[in-house]
Amino acid sequence: MTTVGRVPRLYRSDVRAARRRLGRHVRVTPVCHTEVAGPHGPVAVSLKFEYLQHGGTFKVRGSLNALLASGNDERPVVVASGGNAGIAAALACAILGRSCTVVVPESAPHTKVAAIWAYGAEVLWHGTTYGEATRYAEELAVERGALQLHAYGLPEVVAGAGTIGLEIERQVRARPPVLVPVGGGALVAGIAAALGLRGRVIGVEPAGAPTLNAALAAGRPVDVHINSIASDALGATRIGDLAMEIAQRYAVGSVLVSDDAISMAREYLWREFRIVVEPAGATALAAIQSGAYVPEPGERPVVVLSGANTDLTTF
């Protein structure tokens, strides 16, 4: 890893180091080669079942990698989260025997807050948005002398998420495009860094939360208004600087999908595969089913199903 200006540059070697560091702390999640309904008939895809990860979220990879990389640092941990990053931090701290405080906005889903509690973390509510919770978490970390984790801004978090890309490389032949849901950008950036110039990564975002799409159009990270059913997981108002640098370096694409398309993809996964995911977890599949992304002839894209933390009564 090097630094250009104020933004670190993350490479495949950093992701490989994260994989060695994580070892057996995380699951190698399976891939299923199948067909799904598309707008004009069946579409061949490979579904990456990352929703089966510990804690029901890919974010455990990043949180654990960041804590393991901190070496002998035994300070308590503070993190702001809309839900999944808090679950990941709480679980990582439980595994490593460290105390954890998660600051959540008032809009955080009760299902996710309950999971954070279940892993032994302290939960504090502050503000109505993720941004407000983040600012309070920063103050709290200074006040308590704590180590502050970030949902998507730390190189170690991005590298940990990128280990999914290394798994896909071993599980899927050739170099198919990989469709990845985008919030703050850790997952899409990590996978792009893992696959490098030979890979092709497409970020998929709700039209009501277009952080990557707006940033690519502007040529820099910009603030966006958030209004989506997936906002508890894809609710960052701005793409991370590190994610933006990687997206530009590796020509990461971006497509937008509607909330209706996300809901339909989520319901389809349950109806046809008995797979339960949260809206964010179905966002990448929504691109295939809605026609926002159309595979080339003979192409079988990989679709990352990223998280399963949801209220079952919403189906």
Show the beta-strand stretches assigned E in the chain.
2-4, 7-9, 31-38, 41-48, 77-80, 100-104, 122-125, 147-148, 178-181, 201-206, 253-257, 302-304
Q: What is the rounded distance in angstroms from the CA atom of residue 59 to the CA atom of residue 118?
A: 17
The amino acid present at 104, given as its one-letter code, is: V
Q: List, in order, residues 6 or more apart from 144 with CB less than 8 Å away.
A: 76, 78, 101
Q: What is the rounded distance in angstroms from the CA atom of residue 203 to the CA atom of residue 81?
A: 21
Q: What is the rounded distance in angstroms from the CA atom of residue 176 to the CA atom of residue 66?
A: 29
By three-state DSSP, how is residue 104 classified? strand
Domain extent listing, the chain: 2-58+154-314, 59-148
Q: Each residue of 265-308: pLDDT tens digit?
A: 999 999 999 999 999 999 999 999 999 999 999 999 999 999 99
Tens of each residue's pLDDT in the chain, 315 residues: 665 557 788 999 999 999 999 999 999 999 999 999 999 999 999 999 999 999 999 999 999 999 999 988 889 999 998 889 999 999 999 999 999 999 999 988 899 999 999 999 999 999 988 888 999 999 999 999 999 998 888 999 999 999 999 999 999 999 999 999 999 999 999 999 999 999 999 999 999 999 999 999 999 999 999 999 998 888 888 999 999 999 999 999 999 999 999 999 999 999 999 999 999 999 999 999 999 999 999 999 999 999 999 877 776
Segment holding 241, helix H or strand E: helix 241-249
Q: 53 is written with which tokens? A: 């990860």
Give me the residue label for tokens 């860094």. 193
The amino acid present at 194, given as its one-letter code, is: A
What sign has the CA pseudo-torsion 117, 119, 120, 126? negative
Q: Each residue of 11-23: pLDDT tens digit?
A: 999 999 999 999 9
Q: Do the domains 2-58+154-314 and 59-148 sit in the same CATH topology, yes or no? A: yes
Predicted model pTM: 0.94
Rg (CA), the chain: 18
CATH architecture for residues 2-58+154-314: 3-Layer(aba) Sandwich (3.40)
Distances (CA, A) of 3 to 80, 115, 266, 315: 25, 36, 39, 45
Q: What is the rounded distance in angstroms from the CA atom of residue 90 to the CA atom of residue 297?
A: 44
59-148 fold: Rossmann fold (3.40.50)
